[in-house]
Amino acid sequence: MLIVQKYGGSSVADGSRIRNVAGIIAENYSCGHDMVVVLSAQGDTTDELLEKAAELNPSPSRRELDMLLATGEQQSIALMAMCLESMGLPAVSLTGWQAGVRTNAEYGVARIRRVDTERLRRELDKKRIVLVAGFQGVNKFDDYTTLGRGGSDTTAVALAAALHADRCQIFTDVEGVYTADPRKVPGARKLDEITYDEMLELASMGAQVLMNRSVQMAKRYGVELEVLSSLVRAPGTKVKEVTRTMEEMKITGIAKDENVARLTVAGVADKPGVAFRLLNTVAKAGVDVDMIIQANGREDTNDISFVVAQDHAAMAYDALMARQSAIGFDHISVDRDIAKVSVVGAGMMSSSSIAAVVFEAFNDEHINIQMINTSEIKISCVIDAASADRAVKAIHRKFFEV
């Protein structure tokens, strides 16, 4: 069996954690499995590097930032290889470049174009444990790129797809996907299974177990994922196309996302094409937009509000201000003091009463809903940040603690 595993930064944070992970890898390898292991940078390495960079340049070019950040994962794979070697196991570490991870040229948020598996296959044929630096690749200029947040998960899924792996296991510091954040909601339950679509909604809603792009890629290539803990030996949560429990459970989980900001562009001319130009400008800056609301402003103008990831708010703001006269608007206000609470479940499709229960929970707690967005399997509400935890607990009680 060919197994692709991924271990996050906290799973390899120090020597003893690395030894622990090496133990899991060794166990699988000794069962005769072919092992490809994707690693993130150790613990706080990435933050430390960002700090060093910020000291020299508050807004460094993304190319150079990627050059800097790519070193974190490279250190992890080398250290893990050494640890496995010390256990008498054959291991070889490969950077994104060496592992054939080819990306587009969007530094910092690069997307994987293809994986040239020749070298990987060759190393597997030699029965070596192959350690691959996650989060990174090279573009057509042979320059280092990084894949952005959760990039190592994406690397793992891409490798699993390209190698037709039998399993793709994402090891993290939680035991799986829960109905809500177990640190905040004591009654939260671990799910045995979840569909790609549910996971996608949860991931994009701030349940930081798996990032969206990796789940999208897994869905697209039919890579069944398993999310599990590197510290507790227990089955995790399987992420797949169809789950057995879909019909039974109406909702799967509740997520809170505090990494959001609302930009309100005031005084936008009420003419065709203006909203498109505005949102296109934001999209071209590489910022994903979520929940758009248009409201009448003063004198034939509109106010357009939208939600973006908080760490992209400045980018969106800068991109819009740079084209202020071309787009035509008055000013932009940014509100970072909000949170998005989302209720997700594939079972929602067959039940219309979910929304009513969700709104009742908000009402019980006297929480004002600022924006609402729904899809077939999700309801999201933007509320003030201070009420978010209370909202999640209230909804969880309604659905899971009855």
Residues that bind a copy of itself (CB under 8 A): 15, 18-19, 49, 52-53, 55-58, 60-61, 63-65, 67-68, 70-71, 74-75, 77-79, 81-83, 85-86, 91-93, 95, 97-98, 119, 142-144
SS3 190: strand
On the 0-12 / 13-18 / 19+ scale of CB atoms within 10 A, 93 is buried
Residues whose CB falls within 8 Å of the CB of residue 259, separated by 6 or more in sequence, listed in order: 206, 309, 310, 311
- Between 77 and 371, CB nearer to a copy of itself: 77
Query: How far is CA 166 from its chain centroid?
Result: 23
Please, what is the minimum distance in Å from the beta carbon of residue 312 to a copy of itself?
Answer: 21
- Between 61 and 280, CB nearer to a copy of itself: 61
- Between 60 and 328, CB nearer to a copy of itself: 60
- Between 69 and 251, CB nearer to a copy of itself: 69
Query: In sequence order, what are the beta bridge partners of 114?
Result: 102
- Between 135 and 362, CB nearer to a copy of itself: 135
Here the tokens at position 316 are: 């969106």
Please, what is the minimum distance in Å from the beta carbon of residue 89 to a copy of itself?
Answer: 11
Please, what is the minimum distance in Å from the beta carbon of residue 340 to a copy of itself?
Answer: 33
Spatial distance between the Cα atoms of 75 and 71, rounded to a whole number of angstroms: 6
Judge whether 85 and 91 are in contact, CB under 8 Å. Answer: yes
Here the tokens at position 141 are: 């200029």
Residue that is written with structure tokens 């990494």 in the block: 259
- Between 90 and 328, CB nearer to a copy of itself: 90
Angle between helix axes 15-30 and 62-86 (nearest 10 degrees) is 60
- Between 98 and 152, CB nearer to a copy of itself: 98
Please, what is the minimum distance in Å from the beta carbon of residue 134 to a copy of itself?
Answer: 15
SS3 266: strand
Please, what is the minimum distance in Å from the beta carbon of residue 370 to a copy of itself?
Answer: 38
- Between 67 and 266, CB nearer to a copy of itself: 67
Please, what is the minimum distance in Å from the beta carbon of residue 8 to a copy of itself?
Answer: 18
Please, what is the minimum distance in Å from the beta carbon of residue 266 to a copy of itself?
Answer: 33
CB atoms within 10 A of CB 299: 7
Please, what is the minimum distance in Å from the beta carbon of residue 122 to a copy of itself?
Answer: 10
Please, what is the minimum distance in Å from the beta carbon of residue 286 to a copy of itself?
Answer: 19
Which DSSP string do the residues of 308-376 spell out, in sequence order?
EEGGGHHHHHHHHHHTHHHHT-SEEEEE-SEEEEEEE-GGGGG-SSHHHHHHHHHHHTTPPP-EEEEET
Residues whose CB falls within 8 Å of the CB of residue 121, separated by 6 or more in sequence, listed in order: 163
Spatial distance between the Cα atoms of 371 and 307, rounded to a whole number of angstroms: 9
Spatial distance between the Cα atoms of 113 and 93, rounded to a whole number of angstroms: 22
- Between 52 and 336, CB nearer to a copy of itself: 52
- The residue type found at 108 is G
- Between 81 and 341, CB nearer to a copy of itself: 81
Please, what is the minimum distance in Å from the beta carbon of residue 26 to a copy of itself?
Answer: 14
